[in-house]
Structure formats: structure tokens, C-alpha cells
């Protein structure tokens, strides 16, 4: 009850931050040349309000995750397990809340996302050659193919450089698009694939490479603010083709995953028959057991205009995930799947993302014999 009252007061007390658009916020609070009041400009005051909101939202969510009803829900106990978890995560933390605060993600967006996919190039009047494309967020404007063709518009996902300029990590389901990867496919409990890249695909700047921070462990992730940061130039992305999904991460349990997957309504199964869905469940369950969950903005894991259409978040596959650990963003995992689950208590659908934690990345990247080469 205390958490519910604090949550209500927080949302009602900061309406411009909780639900207002960034443009409204600037009109209300931020004029760069405005006079100072008590030594603080309106811009600084607005930034402080946003930061307090995010701090309190994280604190309230962590407190809620420790409640007995949520702990029971993660064991798939109680009347509405999914609803109990979604209540704990319901405070919205939007990208606009993080801008220009200590939680600002703009440097992550600038440095690390890399679009990965294939493009078809005409070899002659009768043949088309499928060739890979790697488009880093940094230096892309120096790439002749990017200046000519821009971002990939279909058949793409993300990847990131890991520990060296010639090593990338992506999802296995994206790696399957490249014949060079087929010998290394495992189809096990980790949707992760590691590749060495040819020199023309290597990172051009040390800023592009994510370095493993040995001080970070999976134990740091649960209850932390995390951001999925990727390139996905669809109608839902920003003007530079970027997307950021912030939220609080929750460690999944096999019990919760089995229960949640079993309760997905037929309308959210993307047209799969019962037999196809059973096969899908067997394939995805082990991977989700090795994952963390976070909520997505409404609609990101639902097809438009039809249920079997591409999901708005689909192009974000393999985007890196960063968590605020000990006061700064540190790499904590990789986004690999999303789906729409049912909140039976409130009779609504909830979009969620799943990401593999850093321990899984380390485990797969440590085995260089499983690498494939992108040429």
C-alpha cells in the first residue's frame, strides 16, 4: 500500500515529466537565456526535476520488486503472476526523462550501435549478388555505400564490436542470414553468435568497441535501470535511425517463463498453428530462461497493420544493453527477443523485451573455435 501511494503521488506530482512531450517540457521550463532564480536557470531546474523523477521511479520499482507478491509471481504463484510483475514495473521511464541528466544515453547512441544485414546488388542483367553490410553509428557518413544507399530498409538487425575492432557479437537468428555462419550455429539456450570480420568491416575508431568490464556481473542487473540502444530506421525511430528503450530489468525464472508462454492468447501468436506454436515454445523457452525482462513502450512488440506484420522493435535485434551500475552506464547484455504478454488482472496487453546477460556474452565469446568470419 505504501508503494502504491508513493507511486500515485509521484505520477500526479510530476505530470510534465511523467507524461509530457519534450517540446512541451522545453516550453514550460527551458529557455537558455532566461534569467536565473536563486542562482538556477529554468533549464537547470527542469533537469533536476527529471533526475529526481528517474531516481524515485527506480527506487520505487526496486522496492516493488522485493515485495512478496512479486517474488511469488516469479515462481509463477499467486492468482495473476504476470499482473503482479507488471504492476511493479509500471512506472514509465521514457528516453526524454533521461536527456540531459546523469542518465543521459546520447554518448551510447553515438558510439556503439551497428546495423548489420544483407543487400542485393545487381551483378549483371540476370544475376543479383547478396552481400553483407555493416553500418556503424560512428563514421557511417564516410562510407560510400551509406552515402549512396543509406541504412538498410529490410532484412537487418544490429551487432556490436566486442573487445577488439575485428570481432562482432549478434544474435544467432540474424547470423543465419550469412552462409559463412552455418557451420557455427548451435540453436541452444543462447541466441548469440560471435564473428570475426574482414578488415573493411572492422571498427575504425576505438570509441566503437565495447570493452568488457570485469567488475560487472549478472548480479548487478536485476532492479537496475537499463537502456537498449540500437539502430532501427523504421517509422518509429528518430531522425538518425536510432532507438532507445529504457526500463528496469528483472531476472527471469524458468517457472515464470513456462507460465507466461503457456498463457499467450491465440491472437498474440502471430498466426502460428498450435503445432507451430509448440515448436516455437520449445525453441524459445531455453533462451528466455537465460534472460532478463524489461517492459517496452506499448505497441513495440505488436504487428501493424496485421498481427503477422513486422514488429516495430524487430530491427533492434542484437542491440547492446547498458545498465546504470555504480553510477555510470556499463555494458550488461544483448537484446534478442520481444513479445506481447497478457495482463489478465487489468485486461490489457503488455509489450516486453528479453536480453541475454553479460555472463552469456562472455561465455560464447570465450570460445574462439565457434567464431565464424564475415567477409
345, pLDDT greater than 60: yes
Ramachandran category for residue 258: left, alpha or beta (phi over 0 → left; psi -120 to 50 → alpha):
alpha
253, pLDDT greater than 90: yes
Answer positive or negative: Cα dihedral of 271, 74, 353, 18. Answer: positive
Are 94 and 123 found together in one domain? no
Are 216 and 283 found together in one domain? yes
Contacts of 176 (CB under 8 A, 6+ apart): 182, 185
What is the chain's alpha carbon radius of gyration, rounded to the nearest angstrom? 21
State the pLDDT at residue 371.
97
Q: Note down the domain range covering 75.
A: 2-98
What is the Cα–Cα distance from 140 to 134, expressed in whole angstroms?
A: 9
Q: Mean per-residue pLDDT for 234-246?
A: 85
Are 55 and 184 found together in one domain? no
Q: Last residue of a domain, which of 41, 66, 98? A: 98
Which of 51-65, 131-145, 209-223 comes out lowest in average pLDDT? 131-145
Confidence tier at 127 by pLDDT (50, 70, 90): low
Are 54 and 131 found together in one domain? no
29, pLDDT greater than 60: no
Q: What is the dihedral of CA 103, 295, 336, 209, to 10 degrees?
A: 0
State the pLDDT at residue 156.
95
Are 60 and 147 found together in one domain? no
Are 67 and 187 found together in one domain? no
Cis peptide bond N-terminal to 305, omega within 30: yes
When divided into structural domains, the chain yields a total of: 2
Closest CA to 358 of 196, 192, 242: 192
Are 67 and 210 found together in one domain? no
Are 155 and 66 found together in one domain? no
What is the Cα–Cα distance from 174 to 193, expressed in whole angstroms?
A: 9
State the pLDDT at residue 64.
97
Which of 37-51, 135-149, 222-236 comes out lowest in average pLDDT? 135-149
pTM: 0.86
Are 64 and 119 found together in one domain? no
What is the Cα–Cα distance from 365 to 216, expressed in whole angstroms?
A: 16
Amino acid at each position: 500500500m505504501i508503494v502504491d501511494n508513493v507511486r500515485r503521488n509521484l505520477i500526479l506530482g510530476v505530470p510534465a515529466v511523467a507524461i509530457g512531450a519534450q517540446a512541451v517540457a522545453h516550453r514550460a521550463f527551458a529557455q537558455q537565456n532566461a534569467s536565473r532564480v536563486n542562482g538556477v536557470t529554468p533549464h537547470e531546474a527542469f533537469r533536476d526535476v527529471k533526475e529526481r523523477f528517474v531516481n524515485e521511479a527506480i527506487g520505487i520499482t526496486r522496492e516493488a520488486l522485493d515485495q512478496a507478491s512479486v517474488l511469488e509471481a516469479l515462481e509463477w504463484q499467486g492468482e495473476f503472476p504476470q499482473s503482479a510483475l507488471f504492476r511493479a514495473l509500471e512506472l514509465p521511464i521514457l528516453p526524454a526523462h533521461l536527456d540531459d541528466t546523469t542518465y543521459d544515453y546520447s554518448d551510447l547512441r553515438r558510439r556503439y550501435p551497428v546495423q548489420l544485414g544483407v543487400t542485393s546488388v545487381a551483378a549483371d542483367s540476370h544475376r543479383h549478388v547478396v552481400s553483407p553490410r555493416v553500418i556503424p553509428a560512428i563514421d557511417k557518413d564516410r562510407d560510400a555505400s551509406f552515402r549512396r544507399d543509406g541504412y538498410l530498409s529490410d532484412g537487418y538487425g544490429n551487432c556490436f564490436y566486442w573487445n577488439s575492432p575485428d570481432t562482432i557479437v549478434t544474435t544467432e537468428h540474424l547470423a543465419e542470414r550469412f552462409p559463412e555462419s552455418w557451420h557455427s550455429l548451435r540453436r541452444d539456450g543462447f541466441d548469440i553468435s560471435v564473428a570475426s570480420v574482414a578488415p573493411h568491416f572492422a571498427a575504425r575508431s576505438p570509441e566503437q568497441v565495447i570493452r568488457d568490464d570485469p567488475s560487472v556481473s549478472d548480479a548487478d542487473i536485476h532492479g537496475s535501470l537499463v537502456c537498449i540502444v540500437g539502430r532501427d530506421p523504421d517509422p518509429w525511430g528518430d531522425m538518425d535511425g536510432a532507438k532507445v528503450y529504457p526500463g528496469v530489468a528483472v531476472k527471469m525464472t524458468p517457472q515464470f517463463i513456462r507460465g507466461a508462454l503457456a498463457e499467450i492468447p491465440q491472437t498474440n501468436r502471430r498466426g502460428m498453428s498450435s503445432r507451430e506454436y509448440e515448436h516455437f515454445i520449445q525453441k524459445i523457452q531455453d533462451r528466455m530462461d537465460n534472460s532478463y525482462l524489461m517492459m517496452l513502450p506499448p505497441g513495440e512488440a505488436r504487428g501493424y497493420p496485421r498481427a503477422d506484420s513486422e514488429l516495430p522493435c524487430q530491427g533492434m535485434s542484437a542491440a547492446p544493453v547498458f545498465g546504470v551500475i555504480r553510477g555510470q552506464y556499463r555494458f550488461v547484455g544483448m537484446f534478442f527477443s520481444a513479445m506481447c504478454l497478457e495482463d489478465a488482472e487489468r485486461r490489457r496487453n503488455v509489450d516486453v523485451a528479453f536480453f541475454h546477460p553479460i555472463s552469456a556474452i562472455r561465455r560464447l565469446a570465450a570460445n574462439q573455435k565457434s567464431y565464424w568470419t564475415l567477409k
